[in-house]
């Protein structure tokens, strides 16, 4: 069942069944859903200085699970859920010495593993070891080409080092016939509106793609519903952002390797026109979906101290070091029954987008791609 066609078929069915269970029979079966967006934040420390994320401001020693505790968690997840999609992220996951060992373990269990990194590494042996672990996908954040990226990421040589990481991944994949996808991830914000199309052109190589995500409130900051009114990251002229996204839609039609669907890009246009109306669904990475569900029906986020969360807007519920992960999931509060923030009427989304969430969308939908929204 591990990798290959059988694993891919399993993930497709798993994901499809769990998405549909949320809406089937008016949600009567929702409580029996299993997680489809599973993220392990291996650390909440970071060596970047990004303008759009405050995780790097976390200081001090972390009380993290050790390697055997993380492995035990992976074993439990595998027994419970089968060879599903999982994501290693952070913070900067590659700051931890044990990340590649954990990646090897996850892959050996049959998970389709995605690892997110900023790629800012002088020591390329770290990247080589990660590549050799054979994850399903390696995602590198790239917010622009050259100076734009370094400015967003807060260090002069950020672009050069990130580019070297991308080259290492391309070289290793060719040389060792490794099958991972290379995904670039670009956050659309004031500072890179003129560079978005250049990232799509940069990603035109075989086996490489780019996924765009609109700017949200800085991660790791107290929630502020009006954040976009004062944030320097929000486009000063939203119509410029709209034009930039329209250009991406055209490049998508022209066949450039843009991983977003046209629907996802269309809903980004609406978000830049109406940030207030689409704030919560965008933060939950559900803005493009037909129906919006409580995040706790699909998201399982393990924090760097072992804490287990289901919604970025609610407190963690338990710790996998104290209770088996399956038990934490099955006894979590039933927020979806008491009316959560997602049950408010949908605003600003055009009718043609109303279609069933697709199978295999787990990496790009609820909380996918290392969602780490603001803290309360």
Contacting positions for ligand SAM (CB under 6 A): 46, 52-53, 55, 89-90, 92, 116-118, 141, 185, 187, 213, 215-216, 218-219, 370, 372
Partner whose binding site includes residue 22, from ligand SAM, ligand SF4, none (CB under 5 to 8 Å by kind): none
Residue of 162, 131, 132, 168 whose CA lies nearest to 144: 162
Binding string to ligand SF4 for residues 76 to 115, with x set by CB under 6 A, is what?
--------------xxx-----------------------
Nearer to ligand SAM, 33 or 133 (CB): 133
Least gap, CB of 263 to ligand SF4 (angstroms): 25
Answer yes or no whether residue 172 interacts with ligand SF4 by CB under 6 A: no
Q: How many other C-beta atoms can be found within 10 angstroms of the C-beta atom of residue 258?
A: 24
Partner whose binding site includes residue 190, from ligand SAM, ligand SF4, none (CB under 5 to 8 Å by kind): none
**Residue count at the site for ligand SF4 (CB under 6 A)?**
10
Nearer to ligand SF4, 56 or 202 (CB): 56
Nearer to ligand SAM, 184 or 342 (CB): 184
**In the structure encoding, which two tokens stand for residue 291, read together?**
């129906």
Residue 169: its H or E element: helix 158-175
Q: Can you tell me the distance from the alpha carbon of 96 to that of 170, in angstroms, rounded to the nearest whole number?
A: 23
Q: Can you tell me the distance from the alpha carbon of 41 to that of 303, in angstroms, rounded to the nearest whole number?
A: 5
Least gap, CB of 99 to ligand SAM (angstroms): 12
Least gap, CB of 52 to ligand SAM (angstroms): 4
Least gap, CB of 333 to ligand SF4 (angstroms): 28
Least gap, CB of 99 to ligand SF4 (angstroms): 14
User: Which of 21, 41, 53, 102 touches ligand SF4 (CB under 6 A)?
Assistant: 53
Q: Can you tell me the distance from the alpha carbon of 282 to that of 87, in angstroms, rounded to the nearest whole number?
A: 19
Partner whose binding site includes residue 248, from ligand SF4, ligand SAM, none (CB under 5 to 8 Å by kind): none
Nearer to ligand SF4, 146 or 350 (CB): 146
Which residues are CB-neighbours of 230 under 8 A, at least 6 positions away?
A: none
Least gap, CB of 238 to ligand SAM (angstroms): 16
Nearer to ligand SAM, 46 or 172 (CB): 46
Interacting residues with ligand SF4 between 13 and 52 (CB under 6 A): 46, 48, 50
Answer yes or no whether residue 55 interacts with ligand SF4 by CB under 6 A: yes
User: Could you say which DSSP state residue 326 is in?
Assistant: H
C-beta of residue 12 within 8 angstroms of C-beta of residue 360: yes
Partner whose binding site includes residue 56, from ligand SAM, ligand SF4, none (CB under 5 to 8 Å by kind): ligand SF4
| Euclidean distance between the first and the last CA atom of the chain, given in angstroms as a whole number | 40
Nearer to ligand SAM, 33 or 46 (CB): 46
Partner whose binding site includes residue 142, from ligand SAM, ligand SF4, none (CB under 5 to 8 Å by kind): none
Local structure of 302: helix, strand or coil? strand
Q: Can you tell me the distance from the alpha carbon of 35 to that of 255, in angstroms, rounded to the nearest whole number?
A: 33
Chain centre distance of CA 297: 17
Q: Can you tell me the distance from the alpha carbon of 161 to that of 251, in angstroms, rounded to the nearest whole number?
A: 27
What is the layout of strands, in order, in the sheet containing 85-89? 208-214, 181-188, 137-141, 112-117, 85-89, 37-41, 299-302, 307-309, 318-319
Nearer to ligand SAM, 30 or 200 (CB): 200
C-beta of residue 117 within 8 angstroms of C-beta of residue 164: no
C-beta of residue 192 within 8 angstroms of C-beta of residue 144: yes
Nearer to ligand SAM, 141 or 295 (CB): 141
Nearer to ligand SF4, 18 or 99 (CB): 99
Q: Which residues pair with 213 in a beta bridge?
A: 187
DSSP strand pairing (85-89 vs 318-319): unpaired
Least gap, CB of 169 to ligand SF4 (angstroms): 17
C-beta of residue 303 within 8 angstroms of C-beta of residue 325: no
Please give the residue ranges that form the binding site for ligand SF4 (CB under 6 A).
46, 48, 50, 53, 55-56, 90-92, 118
């Amino acid at each position: 069942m591990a990798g290959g066609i059988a694993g891919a078929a399993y993930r497709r069915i798993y994901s499809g069944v769990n998405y549909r269970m949320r809406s089937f029979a008016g949600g009567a079966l929702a409580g029996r859903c299993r997680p489809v967006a599973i993220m392990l934040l291996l650390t909440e420390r970071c060596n970047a200085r990004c303008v759009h994320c405050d995780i790097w401001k976390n200081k001090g020693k972390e009380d993290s699970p050790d390697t055997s505790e993380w492995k035990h968690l992976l074993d439990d997840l595998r027994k419970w859920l089968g060879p599903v999609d999982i994501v290693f992220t952070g913070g900067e996951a590659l700051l931890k010495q044990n990340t590649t060992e954990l990646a090897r373990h996850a892959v050996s269990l049959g998970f389709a593993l995605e690892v997110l990194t900023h790629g800012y590494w002088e020591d390329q042996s770290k990247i080589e070891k990660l590549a050799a672990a054979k994850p399903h996908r390696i995602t590198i954040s790239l917010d622009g080409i050259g100076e734009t990226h370094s400015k967003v990421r807060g260090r002069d040589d950020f672009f050069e080092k990130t580019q070297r990481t991308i080259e290492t991944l391309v070289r290793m994949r060719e040389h060792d016939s490794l099958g991972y996808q290379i995904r670039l991830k670009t956050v659309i914000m004031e500072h890179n509106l003129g560079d978005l199309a250049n990232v799509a052109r940069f990603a035109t190589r075989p086996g490489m793609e780019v996924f765009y995500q609109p700017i949200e409130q800085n991660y790791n900051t107290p929630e502020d519903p009006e954040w976009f009114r004062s944030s320097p990251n929000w486009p000063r002229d939203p119509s410029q952002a709209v034009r930039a996204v329209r250009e991406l839609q055209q490049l998508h039609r022209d066949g450039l390797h843009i991983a977003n669907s046209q629907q996802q890009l269309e809903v980004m246009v609406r978000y830049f026109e109406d940030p207030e109306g689409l704030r919560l669904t965008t933060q939950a990475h559900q803005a493009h979906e037909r129906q919006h569900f409580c995040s706790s029906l699909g998201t399982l986020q393990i924090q760097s101290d072992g804490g287990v969360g289901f919604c970025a807007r609610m407190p963690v519920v338990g710790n996998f070091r104290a209770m088996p992960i399956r038990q934490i999931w099955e006894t979590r509060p039933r927020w979806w029954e008491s009316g959560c923030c997602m049950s408010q009427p949908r605003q600003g989304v055009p009718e043609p987008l109303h279609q069933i969430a697709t199978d295999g969308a787990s990496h790009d939908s609820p909380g996918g791609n290392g969602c780490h929204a603001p803290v309360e």
